Structure 1
Amino acid sequence: MSNTDVFTKQHHLIKITSHADVVLIGAGIMSATFGMFLRILEPTWKIHIYERLHKPAQESSNVWNNAGTGHAAFCELNYTQYNHKDYSIDISKAIAVNEAFEISRQFWAYLVQTQVIKCPSSFINSVPHMSFVWGEENVYFLKKRFQALQSSILFSGMVFSEDLQQIHQWIPLVVNGRNTSQKIAATRMEMGTDVNFGALTQQLLNKLKKSLNFNMYVQHDVECIKHNNDTTWNVHIIDQQSKQRKCIHTNYVFVGAGGRSLSLLQSSDVPEISGYAGFPVGGQFLVTKNPKIVTQHLAKVYGKASINTPPMSVPHMDTRILNGDKILLFGPFATFSSKFLKYGSWLDLFHSFNKHNFIPMLQAGIDNFDLLKYLIHQLTMSDMKRIDELKKYYPTVNPSDWTLIKAGQRVQIIKKNNKNRGILQFGTEVVSSNDRTLSALLGASPGASTVVSIILELLDTMFNDKIDSDTWKNKLINMIPSYPNNLNNNIILVNKIRRYTCNILKLNYIEATDHQHPTC
C-alpha cells in the first residue's frame, strides 16, 4: 500500500499517511527496550516510536523523576509481607523482583558487550542497598526478614547487624547524633546499584535511530488507537509542530506511555480494559549536592513505612550518581494532582471516568480511606515537618543544605478483583487485547528495574508464534544467558550469571554460598 491508501472504518474514510509493523507509544525505558529487542529479533520490521514531548525520557524514565534504585528487593521492606498472626514472612515477591532485575542486568551487559553502550558507569553504578529500622518491634521484624531471605540463594551475601559501631561504619550520617540507647538494626547488600534510566533510554534510542527500519517522532501526540476489521490497527496522531493529523496503519501496538496508557487503551475500545481506572500520585524529594554531606554517605537506605500508609510511602535516603556526580536524595513526599503525567492535563483524571470504571473507583476509594488520610497529611506538611522526617534518617541535618524538588507523576491501577469489587493495586501490569496485537503497561514501581522481564512477557503475548522458534530462542539466549531458566535455588547458575554481569558492568560481585552467616 502507498502513503495515499484509504481505509474504510465505520463508514468514514481514513487517509493512511504511513505504515509500520510495530508502533510503540511513549519514548521511555519500556518502548526503548522493546524497540531494541525487536530490532535484534526482526531487523527487517519497520518500527515507529511516537513521543508527545520534545525529547524522550522526560516522564517516569527521567533521572530526577525516580529514585533510580535498581529494585532488587535487597532493601525494600514492602516486598516481604509480614504475617503478624504467625510471625511468618513471605519472600515470594522479593524473589520474583530480584529474578526480574537479574534479567535486566543480563540484557544491559549484552548491550555493553555489543557496543550499544560504551561506558556502563554512564547508567549503572555500585551503591550498597540497606534496610534500617529502630525500635524493638521493627528490629525483630528486620531480623526475621533477613533470616527468611537466607532461604534463597539470591540473597546470599546480605549481612545483618544490630551493632551501633558497625552500622556507623556503613552509614555515619544515619547514626551520628542518634540516641545511643535507641535499639537499631540494619541489613546491607554490597551488590546493590544505582541506575540512571534516563541515560539508558537515551543511549538505546540513539542506537536505534541509526537503524534503517526505525523512526522516532517527537512532539507527536497520539489521540487514539482504533481496531480495523482485520487484526490491524490505525493509530491517530497530531504532529504538534505542523498541527497536521496523521494516521499510521500497523500490525502491532505497544503503549508504554506511563499515565497516558490508560486513556489510550480506553480509546481502543478493547473489552479487556473495562473496569480499569487510575489513581494519580505525585512525589517530591529533598536533595542535597553539598560535597561535605554527600561524601559521608554511600548507600540506598530504605526504612519501614508507617502503619496504615501505602507502599509508595516507604522513606529512603539514597545516593544518586548523575553524570558522574553524587547527590543525596530523601523522600518521597506524596503530592496529589488530577494529572496522569507530570506534563499532562488537569483533566486527565476526569476524562478517564466512564460507566465501566466509576463504581470500581468508588469502591477502591472506600476501601483505601487510609491512603486518602495519608495524602491529606502529606499535602498539608510544612517544610519543617519534611525536615523532621529527614532527621529520623539524618539526625544532625542542616535544613539549609537541602532543596525540595518535584519528581514524577505515577498512576496506580484500580481494577476489579475476583469478587468483582474495585481494588487499588500497586505495581505494574500488562493488559492486552484478545487477539494479542495490542498491549499496554499500566501501573508503577518497580517497572523500570524489571523492564526486560516485562518485555519478555510482551514477546510471549504478542508474538507467541515466534518466541519458540529456534531463531528467536537463540537470539534471546544470546541476550539473556539464563533464559528461560530460573535463578533461585540454582547456585551454579546464580554465580555464573552474576560473575558475568558484574564483570561486564563493572559492579561489585559477591560469590553466593550455601553457608550463610546470619550476622556480621
Structure 2
Amino acid sequence: MSNRETKTDVILIGAGIMSATLGTLLKELAPEWKITVFEKLENAGEESSNEWNNAGTGHAALCELNYTSEKSDGSIDISKAIKINEQFQLSMQFWSYLVNNKLIHKPQDFIMPLPHMSMVLGEENVTFLKKRFEAMSNNPLFQGMEFSDDPAKLKEWIPLIMEDRPANEPIAATKIDSGTDVNFGALTRILFDHLKSKNVDINYKHSVDNMKRTSDGSWELKVRNDSGNIEHHTAKFVFVGGGGGSLHLLQKSGIPEGKHIGGFPVSGLFLVCNNPEVVEQHHAKVYGKAKVGAPPMSVPHLDTRFIDNKKSLLFGPFAGFSPKFLKTGSMLDLVTSVKPDNVVTMLAAGAKEMSLTKYLIQQVMLSKEKRIEELREFIPNAQLEDWDTVVAGQRVQVIKDTEAGGKGTLQFGTEVITASDGSIAALLGASPGASTAVHVMLDVINKCFPQHMKEWEPKIKEIIPSYGLSLMENVELLHEIHTSTAETLGLSEKDLVNS
C-alpha cells in the first residue's frame, strides 16, 4: 500500500472542460499556487467533454428554441437567451486571450465558424418563429439574424433539408452566420497540455474514493491510484468537476449545501452520416422544436461537425436511459445516490415527471428505422444505409427542492454547489454546460476566493474585457469584442474566404 501524502493549494477532480478552465484561470491569477488534478480515466476530456459525447454547439442561444418561450400574452421572452449569449461571450474572450498570449496556437483545432439556424414546420410554429425573430433581431446580441419562409431562399440556406420536401408544407427558418462548432474534447486536451507545462500535477487513472475535513479546515482526499494503492492528498480548496460522478463526491463531502439534492441520468444517441456526398450538402447547425414531454436537451438538431479535421453530419439526440451517471460508471450509480436526506425529493420528482418517464421509455424502444423516420422530418429523402448510431454521453439532471417548483423539481441546466466557507465547489447538471464554462468558473472563483477578488480583478479584466459589464448595454464594446474575438479565433469573413 502506498503511503504517498501530499499537500497542495488546489485539487481539481475530473479532467474535463470545467477543471481545465478553472485550472487555467487560477494559473493566470495565482501562478505560484500548487494545483493537483485527479482523473479516473487515461486521458483528459474522455467523458462529458469528449467531442462524441456532446453536440459541439457553441451555445449562444442563436438557434436553440428552448431558450426562448412564448408568454401567455403571445409575446416572446428572450431573457434566458440574452443571459446565455452574454455568458458565451465570456468564453470567446477567454479563448481569444489564450490565443493572443500563445497559450493556444491553432484555434482551428477546437473552434470553427458555422451558421446557426432554427427551423420549424407548421403554421403555428412559423408564426412563433417569426415573433421570436422580431424579438431577437432588435437586440444587439443577435445582430445579423435573418428570417425566411420563402422555399427558394431556404433551398439556398439548407438544400439537403429542402430537397424532396412537400411544396405545400409551411416551413420557416432563422439564420445567423456568427455561430460556431466547438470541439470541447480538443479544447480540454489543449488546456491540460498547457497546465502540464505550468507544472500542474496531473494524475490519470486515479479515482477519488472519499474526502473529509481536517482540523484546520482543509480537505483530505483518499485517492486510489492505477495500481490499486491508496494515497492521501490534502488541499485548502477542492473543485469537483467529475461530470455525472460529481453528485456522489458531493454527498461524500458531507457539506450541508449538498443535502436534499438528487440526480436523474439521461443518456443520448446520435445518428452520424457516413456518406460524404450527403455530408457535403449541409453546412449549419439546424435546431428544431422539442416534442411534447421531451426534456430540453432532447431538442432535435441536424449538425455539421468538425472532428479530427473531418467534416461529419450528426442528427439527434435521441434520449435513452441507463442508471449509470457516467458512460464509464456503474449500474448502481442511481441506486447508491439515493440517501435518507434526498429520498423524499427523489420520490417527489418521480411523481411529477411521469411525462418525462413516458418519453424516455418511448425513446428507448425506438428502432433504427423509427429514428430514421424522425430524421426524415429534417431530411425527407434520408436513406437508412447512410447513417450509423453513436452513443453520446450521460447527463445527470439535478433534482432539488425549489421555491418555484416545490419538492423534487428537475433542473435542466448547469448548477454549482458551494460550501458556505468556499472551501469546496461541485459542478452538477447539463446544457449549456461547456459553452458557459468561463462564466461558471468565474462564479466559482468569486464565491470561493472573495478575499482575492480585489487583487485579481485587474487581471480578470485583462483576460475578459467585458467582465462585470452587460454587453447588451454597452453596444460599442460588444461590437469591438465581436470583431476582435472573431479575428483572433479565425471566425471572421476574411478567414472564411481564406479557409
TM-score range, shorter chain: over 0.9
Amino acid corresponding to residue 75 of structure 2 in structure 1 = S
What is residue 319 of structure 1 aligned with on the other side?
A: 304
Please state if 1:46 is matched with 2:34.
yes
Identify which of 15, 21, 32 aligns with 2:9: 21
Instruction: State the shift of 1:366 in Å.
Output: 1.1
What is residue 218 of structure 1 aligned with on the other side?
A: 204
Instruction: State the shift of 1:509 in Å.
Output: 6.0
**CA, structure 1 residues 76+427, in 2 after alignment: closer, same or farther (shift >3 Å)?**
same
Please state if 1:453 is matched with 2:439.
yes
SS in structure 2 of the partner of residue 424 of structure 1: strand
SS in structure 1 of the partner of residue 129 of structure 2: helix
Instruction: State the shift of 1:149 in Å.
Output: 1.1
Amino acid corresponding to residue 29 of structure 2 in structure 1 = L
1:223-264 deviations in Å (ceiling 9; x for gaps):
11211223211011100x221101111100000100011100
Instruction: State the shift of 1:508 in Å.
Output: 3.5
Identity of aligned residues (%): 50
What is residue 423 of structure 1 aligned with on the other side?
A: 409
- Asked if structure 2 preserves the Cα contact closer than 8 Å seen for 1:339 and 1:348, the reply is yes
Return 122-131 or 229-238, whichever deviates more: 229-238
SS in structure 1 of the partner of residue 451 of structure 2: coil
Please state if 1:166 is matched with 2:166.
no
What is residue 481 of structure 1 aligned with on the other side?
A: 465
1:132-177 deviations in Å (ceiling 9; x for gaps):
0010000011011111113421011101001101111011011101
SS in structure 1 of the partner of residue 52 of structure 2: helix
- Asked if structure 2 preserves the Cα contact closer than 8 Å seen for 1:153 and 1:490, the reply is no
**CA, structure 1 residues 132+508, in 2 after alignment: closer, same or farther (shift >3 Å)?**
farther
- Asked if structure 1 preserves the Cα contact closer than 8 Å seen for 2:483 and 2:492, the reply is no
TM-score using structure 1 length: 0.93
Taking the aligned partners of 1:87 and 1:369, their CA distance within structure 2 comes to 28
Taking the aligned partners of 1:161 and 1:225, their CA distance within structure 2 comes to 56
Taking the aligned partners of 1:167 and 1:106, their CA distance within structure 2 comes to 32
Please state if 1:107 is matched with 2:94.
yes
Identify which of 154, 157, 179 aligns with 2:144: 157
Amino acid corresponding to residue 171 of structure 2 in structure 1 = I
SS in structure 1 of the partner of residue 147 of structure 2: strand
- Aligned residue pairs total 492
- Asked if structure 2 preserves the Cα contact closer than 8 Å seen for 1:191 and 1:509, the reply is no
RMSD: 1.3
Counting only pairs closer than 5 Å after superposition, residues 42-441 of structure 1 correspond to structure 2 as 42-83=30-71, 85-212=72-199, 214-239=200-225, 241-418=226-403, 421-441=407-427
Taking the aligned partners of 1:301 and 1:416, their CA distance within structure 2 comes to 34
SS in structure 2 of the partner of residue 466 of structure 1: helix
- Asked if structure 1 preserves the Cα contact closer than 8 Å seen for 2:415 and 2:429, the reply is yes
1:53-97 deviations in Å (ceiling 9; x for gaps):
1111110100000010010000000001112x3112111110010
Amino acid corresponding to residue 497 of structure 1 in structure 2 = I
Amino acid corresponding to residue 141 of structure 1 in structure 2 = F
Structure 2 portions without partners, runs of 5+? 495-499
Instruction: State the shift of 1:396 in Å.
Output: 0.9
- Asked if structure 2 preserves the Cα contact closer than 8 Å seen for 1:104 and 1:451, the reply is yes
**CA, structure 1 residues 475+334, in 2 after alignment: closer, same or farther (shift >3 Å)?**
same
Counting only pairs closer than 5 Å after superposition, residues 492-511 of structure 1 correspond to structure 2 as 492-508=476-492
Instruction: State the shift of 1:308 in Å.
Output: 2.4
Taking the aligned partners of 2:39 and 2:240, their CA distance within structure 1 comes to 11
Instruction: State the shift of 1:26 in Å.
Output: 0.1
- Asked if structure 2 preserves the Cα contact closer than 8 Å seen for 1:289 and 1:326, the reply is no
Instruction: State the shift of 1:477 in Å.
Output: 1.3
SS in structure 1 of the partner of residue 23 of structure 2: helix
1:17-54 deviations in Å (ceiling 9; x for gaps):
00110000000000011101111111111000100011
1:108-139 deviations in Å (ceiling 9; x for gaps):
01111111111111000001000000100000
Instruction: State the shift of 1:16 in Å.
Output: 6.7
Counting only pairs closer than 5 Å after superposition, residues 29-44 of structure 1 correspond to structure 2 as 29-44=17-32
What is residue 451 of structure 2 aligned with on the other side?
A: 465
What is residue 497 of structure 2 aligned with on the other side?
A: none
Runs of 4+ in structure 1 off by over 3 angstroms are none
Taking the aligned partners of 1:456 and 1:308, their CA distance within structure 2 comes to 34
Taking the aligned partners of 1:224 and 1:428, their CA distance within structure 2 comes to 24
Taking the aligned partners of 2:214 and 2:420, their CA distance within structure 1 comes to 14
SS in structure 2 of the partner of residue 467 of structure 1: helix
Amino acid corresponding to residue 412 of structure 2 in structure 1 = F
What is residue 517 of structure 1 aligned with on the other side?
A: none
Taking the aligned partners of 1:280 and 1:126, their CA distance within structure 2 comes to 32
- Asked if structure 1 preserves the Cα contact closer than 8 Å seen for 2:274 and 2:388, the reply is no
- Asked if structure 2 preserves the Cα contact closer than 8 Å seen for 1:499 and 1:509, the reply is no
- Asked if structure 2 preserves the Cα contact closer than 8 Å seen for 1:286 and 1:329, the reply is yes
1:490-516 deviations in Å (ceiling 9; x for gaps):
210110000010010011469xxxxxx
1:242-289 deviations in Å (ceiling 9; x for gaps):
211011111000001000111000001001111100000000000013
Taking the aligned partners of 2:422 and 2:390, their CA distance within structure 1 comes to 40
Amino acid corresponding to residue 33 of structure 1 in structure 2 = T
1:341-386 deviations in Å (ceiling 9; x for gaps):
0000001101101111111111111111110010010011111100
Structure 1 portions without partners, runs of 5+? 5-14, 511-520
Amino acid corresponding to residue 478 of structure 2 in structure 1 = V
SS in structure 1 of the partner of residue 361 of structure 2: helix
